[in-house]
Structure 1
């Protein structure tokens, strides 16, 4: 006899599949028309389905314990970051890290260090009774810019129309590289907490051992090894794929998915040897397309952005469900009236002052407006959550005599880092997710209101590529009638957003409709003298060797 089976698996799969389907139905409207990020929308959806609201998704019940839940979130974040950073490396042009090492060194060196220090000082100043070493650890978690949220400003219609290509590339490269370089900042603070903190009297070695471990383990084993490993694996993968593709050993599906399987392999193997899998994935992705071959082969394929969208929607739904929302108000670390100003100050001063100071040395930033834009859009997201759970794992090891309770000086560190890092990540997701639509609304609303209040009778409107003059007939109706043969001055033409359309000529017209084709619209070819239409030019295929089924060989001729 059939019975209802509302098991956890059935509920989670139903909620996830239903939400992705509903979001997909209006995804173009939300992302391309309203400029809303999928991260913000999915985060709110996760909150809606979480135990804080409808209780459809219950992460703690699935995990069984708080430790298991932390481990699941950490591994899920590692997976998403690994895939995203391989894709980020693949998106960059040939030998980009070698060609642009000077601006990248500036962004990853003094600017990133200054971001860490100013964030730590703000946390230390606004959180009562917080040791400075703890503030350094919290600041290190939110120092890297997030590659997942950075896609909001380097992809889509807004980026195509407003962000220059060179600026998009440097943002991708910085967000990919500084994710892995957050380890030195974090572990310098953690080693100092372990060996010279107030409760570190039982630890042998002191500051000397802490600095030695920081140079040896963090820089030598974690960072340097991951760079070498990622470069070697990326180069071997490129050569193997090139060889197999030339000999027709690989089919199209396996060719397109190769970057994702490479990300999974590097994430798993680096995790086993204890190295920096995030940095290794980014280096491997860049070396994998060092000669631009794979990037150009997959330039017009939609598999990469599809997987990217699925991972983004899923991870931020999970964040919305597991985020400790109640702790923002109910905690023993910082009251809410201090927490909100802290989040605002970090978003304003964590990055922007240093970009404004040194932007003239970064040739991709052209002018003050682009410097303000890049300084403001330094989002905090998946990378901060990753370093949060790395910190929690490290704090669990600070227990004297292998006891269950941590040292007395770090008894509140886990709560402090959880509350502050989660709150700053949520602030960044919300603020950076709403900045573009609110900015667009703030620019166009005054223009639209002003135009509506001062619209002349003969105002022209642009619909597509056609300008329709509005003139009144002799009977007073508002129908369109042919203009008389007298020369009249052309009235001002406005777009729907409120901007003025400049006419290329100053001559008058007596036509009812004036057609003004635009660059972004497809214009039909004109008939030839014989009455037939000319053949449309074939698109450039970038010398690809793997074809789609509908790409006939006639296009190449």
Structure 2
């Protein structure tokens, strides 16, 4: 049966690759397509022969590594030198809208799910706060959309993952110790230790990697056909070493990406990042297929009206109101502010956070996972189907 499953997934990739232009015209994005494939497989695949939890545990390292690659490439594309001159919109989104989104998410979870504790409600909110610009590729690639919007959305998506990871790790530590076996000082020490180890590994790794890269380029040591493996190998090494040393691998690769953006040679930087993203995107689409498969068991069977209402609020008001408030006094037109507010799709970071929750012994972990997955599922289709019409509205203008 496993080989039949793999054959179906392989056929899905073949069909998607052959008809990607036609799918784009019908406003079906890659994540939408593979989520639908996963949902279909969960319907026809007998649940009793699928040890779902064990499989998720085995696949978590691969999913974490995929997120690490995107964290690195997003940070490496953040264009810190450009942000020195046009930092207004990303700064407002990151330091004003993001905390308000988190606050709205916590309040909404407490109101709709009275059985959740404050920390559990905070975990729900922080899981669903990061955004994924990969789900809005049609908008980001359309040159008719103002560059300040495209750059702002892309930069926010790249940087908010890095800001949310440490918050998530702290809340996860506290939620796993509801009887306060960890004091505030203990929690702060663990967090600072993880942050410190991650920062040291990132700095040392980049300090060695960039000079080595320059020497390899100057002496023609590597070929173009191996260039996609350079950054992926670097991210794998950095993430794994940091995790082994009990630091946060996610923070390490994010800091590495920021340093790589600032210090790497400009000519080769974009090519290396683009090549690495092609490989990472293949794995990401596999993860979306797996996500749809899991949703067929967890979400569709356990969904309630409270969960659906929270998911709908999370992808709309909880995101849109903070962004509209934060951009209120900017020089953006109302349509541009609404575009910023709407495009906050939930993606790979939220999936990884959810799977990390399932790996713990938190009492309400299945309810938290169901709420998060319902929101991600809704976001995939709402944001995916609205990307092209909104991009076209700028084209028509």
- Which range, TM-score by smaller chain? 0.7 to 0.9
Partner-residue secondary structure (3-state), 2:344? coil
* CA deviation string 1:463-505 (max 9, x = no partner): xxxxxxxxxxxxxxxxxxxxxxxxxxxxxxxxxx9x69xxxxx
Kept in 2, the 8 Å contact 1:35–1:437? The answer is yes
What's 2:120 paired with? 134
Matches within 5 A, 1:62-77: 64=51, 66=53, 68-77=54-63
How far apart, CA to CA, are the structure 1 residues paired with 2:349 and 2:219? 40
What's 1:352 paired with? 320
Kept in 1, the 8 Å contact 2:357–2:369? The answer is no
Of the candidates 218, 221, 245, which is equivalent to residue 249 of structure 1?
221
Of the candidates 372, 376, 382, which is equivalent to residue 421 of structure 1?
372
Q: Would you say 1:51 and 2:42 are equivalent positions? A: yes
Q: Decide whether aligned partners of structure 1 residues 12 and 194 sit closer, same or farther in structure 2, where only a CA change above 3 A counts.
A: closer
What's 1:169 paired with? 151
Kept in 2, the 8 Å contact 1:238–1:289? The answer is no
Q: Decide whether aligned partners of structure 1 residues 292 and 327 sit closer, same or farther in structure 2, where only a CA change above 3 A counts.
A: closer
Kept in 1, the 8 Å contact 2:138–2:391? The answer is no
How far apart, CA to CA, are the structure 1 residues paired with 2:185 and 2:134? 33
Q: Decide whether aligned partners of structure 1 residues 94 and 139 sit closer, same or farther in structure 2, where only a CA change above 3 A counts.
A: closer
The Cα RMSD (Å) is 3.2
Kept in 2, the 8 Å contact 1:59–1:69? The answer is no
Q: Would you say 1:368 and 2:359 are equivalent positions? A: no
Displacement after TM superposition at 1:118 (Å) = 0.5
Matches within 5 A, 1:259-408: 259-291=231-263, 293-294=265-266, 296=268, 298-299=270-271, 303-304=275-276, 306-323=278-295, 325-328=296-299, 330-331=301-302, 336-359=304-327, 366-394=332-360, 396=361
Of the candidates 168, 180, 186, which is equivalent to residue 213 of structure 1?
186
Kept in 1, the 8 Å contact 2:106–2:124? The answer is yes
What's 1:40 paired with? 32
Unmatched segments (≥5 aa) in structure 1: 1-6, 397-409, 445-496, 501-557
Kept in 1, the 8 Å contact 2:231–2:273? The answer is no
How far apart, CA to CA, are the structure 1 residues paired with 2:16 and 2:321? 37
* CA deviation string 1:39-93 (max 9, x = no partner): 1111101212x232x32xx79856x462x22323422321211122222233343
Displacement after TM superposition at 1:329 (Å) = 5.4
How far apart, CA to CA, are the structure 2 residues paired with 1:315 and 1:204? 35
How far apart, CA to CA, are the structure 2 residues paired with 1:139 and 1:301? 31
Partner-residue secondary structure (3-state), 1:144? coil
Indicate the structure (1 or 2) with the bigger Cα radius of gyration: 1
How far apart, CA to CA, are the structure 1 residues paired with 2:373 and 2:326? 30
Of the candidates 10, 13, 30, which is equivalent to residue 17 of structure 1?
10
What's 2:111 paired with? 125
Stretch of structure 1 that moved more, 14-23 or 423-432: 14-23
What's 1:508 paired with? none
Q: Decide whether aligned partners of structure 1 residues 389 and 262 sit closer, same or farther in structure 2, where only a CA change above 3 A counts.
A: same
Q: Decide whether aligned partners of structure 1 residues 277 and 172 sit closer, same or farther in structure 2, where only a CA change above 3 A counts.
A: farther
How far apart, CA to CA, are the structure 2 residues paired with 1:60 and 1:260? 36
Q: Decide whether aligned partners of structure 1 residues 224 and 367 sit closer, same or farther in structure 2, where only a CA change above 3 A counts.
A: farther
Q: Decide whether aligned partners of structure 1 residues 312 and 358 sit closer, same or farther in structure 2, where only a CA change above 3 A counts.
A: same
How far apart, CA to CA, are the structure 1 residues paired with 2:234 and 2:48? 31
- Pairs aligned (count): 397
Kept in 1, the 8 Å contact 2:136–2:383? The answer is no
Partner-residue secondary structure (3-state), 1:375? helix
* CA deviation string 1:263-296 (max 9, x = no partner): 2222222222232222322332232232462555
How far apart, CA to CA, are the structure 1 residues paired with 2:381 and 2:129? 18
- Greater relative CO, 1 or 2 (CA 8 Å, sep 6+): 2
Q: Decide whether aligned partners of structure 1 residues 300 and 160 sit closer, same or farther in structure 2, where only a CA change above 3 A counts.
A: farther
Partner-residue secondary structure (3-state), 1:249? coil
Partner-residue secondary structure (3-state), 1:289? helix
Of the candidates 144, 155, 159, which is equivalent to residue 130 of structure 2?
144
Partner-residue secondary structure (3-state), 2:28? coil
